[in-house]
Amino acid sequence: MRPPGTVPLPRRFYHRTAQELAPLLLNKLLVAPDGRAGRIVEVEAYSEDDPASHSHRGRTTRNATMFGPPGHLYVYFTYGMHWCANAVCGAPDDGTAVLLRALEPVAGLEKMRLARPAARTDRDLCRGPARLAQALGIDGEADGSDLVHGPFRILDDGVNPPPRPTTTTRVGITRAKELPWRWYVPGSRYVSRP
DNA sequence: TAAAAGATCCCCT
DNA sequence: GGGGATCTTTTAT
Residue A192 covered by a domain: no
CATH number of domain containing A23: 3.10.300.10
pLDDT tens-digit map of A121-148: 999 999 999 999 999 999 999 999 999 9
Task: Indicate the number of domains in chain A.
Answer: 1
Residue A191 covered by a domain: no
Task: Name residues 102-131 of chain A with a Cβ under 7 Å from nucleic strand C.
Answer: none
Residue A30 covered by a domain: yes
Closest nucleotide to the alpha carbon of A55, via C1': B7
Å from A160 (CA) to B13 (C1')? 43
Q: Is there contact between A78 and strand B, defined as CB under 7 Å from any strand atom?
A: yes
Residue A2 covered by a domain: no
pLDDT tens-digit map of A45-88: 999 999 999 999 999 999 999 999 999 999 999 999 999 999 99
Structural domain harbouring A146:
7-184
pLDDT tens-digit map of A148-186: 998 999 999 999 999 999 999 999 999 999 999 999 999
Residue A102 covered by a domain: yes
Residue A136 covered by a domain: yes
DSSP calls for A116-178: -TT-SSGGGSSBSHHHHHHHHT--GGGTT-BTTTBSSEEEE-SPPPPSS-EEEPPSS-SSSTT
